[in-house]
């Protein structure tokens, strides 16, 4: 379980099919094989942990399901990746509850400066757009964000300067795909309504 608050930025240093090695700013001793780490929002298991030049280098593996639903299939060496460690008991819940189980990909439709922040408009897949509500929460590339507004398949979020500089959102622009996780409560409400025959 995560909160959508990024704790570091890693760099993809090697890829072999569905196996990814990422250089991180975390200390080697702070990561353990078998632990979970959110990489651009995807909850992945550390299958190997080693020491790099500036921090730990860890390796994760992705299933075909993960490759199909996320942006991982497009990752190339050199890509920067937002990282978040899993919650431990007693940690502050600063964002919202995030599972790291990606629902699909959203495409950035537009971006524009909005005061001190940047406003992004994204387009969600039709099956997920109905689960996104104004003033609700979404996780995009692992970052907990508040939805400003929704119009059809499109929804808007604002990203403040701190988030732009402490995540990989500063690298993104129109046309880019991001990992989308809808609010966990929306998933279950929709499932219950469907089960009761209220949603086709």
- What Cα–Cα distance (Å) separates residue 88 from each residue in 2, 3, 23, 164, 169? 9, 11, 23, 26, 26
Tell me how far apart the alpha carbons of residues 110 and 45 are, in angstroms, rounded to a whole number: 33
Predicted pLDDT of residue 199:
53
Model confidence pLDDT, tens digit, residues 134-165: 999 999 999 999 999 999 999 999 999 999 99
For the chain, domain boundaries = 8-85, 104-195
Higher pLDDT, 27 or 94: 27
Tell me how far apart the alpha carbons of residues 187 and 59 are, in angstroms, rounded to a whole number: 30
- What Cα–Cα distance (Å) separates residue 20 from each residue in 51, 136, 140? 15, 32, 20
Tell me how far apart the alpha carbons of residues 118 and 42 are, in angstroms, rounded to a whole number: 24
Average of pLDDT values for 6-23? 97
Whether the Cβ atoms of residue 182 and residue 138 lie closer than 8 Å to each other: yes
Average of pLDDT values for 10-33? 96
| Residue 145: burial class (beta carbons within 10 Å; 0-12, 13-18, 19+) | buried
> Over 70: is that where the pLDDT of 196 sits?
no
> Over 80: is that where the pLDDT of 89 sits?
no
- Rounded to 10 degrees, the C-alpha dihedral 19/28/86/48 comes to 30
Domain spanning 8-85, CATH class: mainly beta
CATH of 104-195, one of 3.20.20.70, 2.40.30.20, 3.40.50.20, 3.40.50.620: 2.40.30.20
Predicted pLDDT of residue 128:
94
Whether the Cβ atoms of residue 93 and residue 3 lie closer than 8 Å to each other: yes
Predicted pLDDT of residue 54:
83
Average of pLDDT values for 119-123? 98
């Amino acid at each position: 379980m995560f909160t959508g608050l990024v704790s570091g930025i890693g760099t993809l240093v090697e890829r072999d099919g569905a196996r990814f090695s990422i250089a991180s700013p975390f200390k080697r001793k702070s990561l353990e094989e078998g632990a979970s780490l959110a990489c651009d929002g995807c909850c992945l298991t550390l299958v190997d942990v080693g020491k790099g030049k500036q921090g730990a280098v860890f390796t994760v593996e992705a299933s075909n399901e993960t490759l199909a639903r996320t942006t991982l299939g497009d990752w190339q060496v050199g890509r920067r990746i937002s990282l978040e460690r899993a919650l431990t008991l007693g940690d502050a819940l600063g964002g919202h509850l995030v599972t790291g189980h990606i629902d699909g990909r959203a495409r950035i439709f537009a971006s524009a400066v909005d005061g001190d922040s940047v406003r992004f408009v994204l387009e969600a897949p039709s099956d997920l757009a109905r689960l996104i509500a104004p003033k609700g929460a979404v996780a995009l590339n692992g970052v907990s964000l508040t939805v400003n507004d929704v119009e059809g398949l499109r929804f808007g979020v604002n990203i403040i300067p701190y988030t732009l500089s402490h995540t990989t959102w500063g690298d993104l622009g129109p046309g880019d795909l991001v990992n989308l996780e809808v609010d966990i409560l929306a998933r279950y409400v929709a499932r219950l309504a469907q089960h009761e025959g209220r949603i086709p």
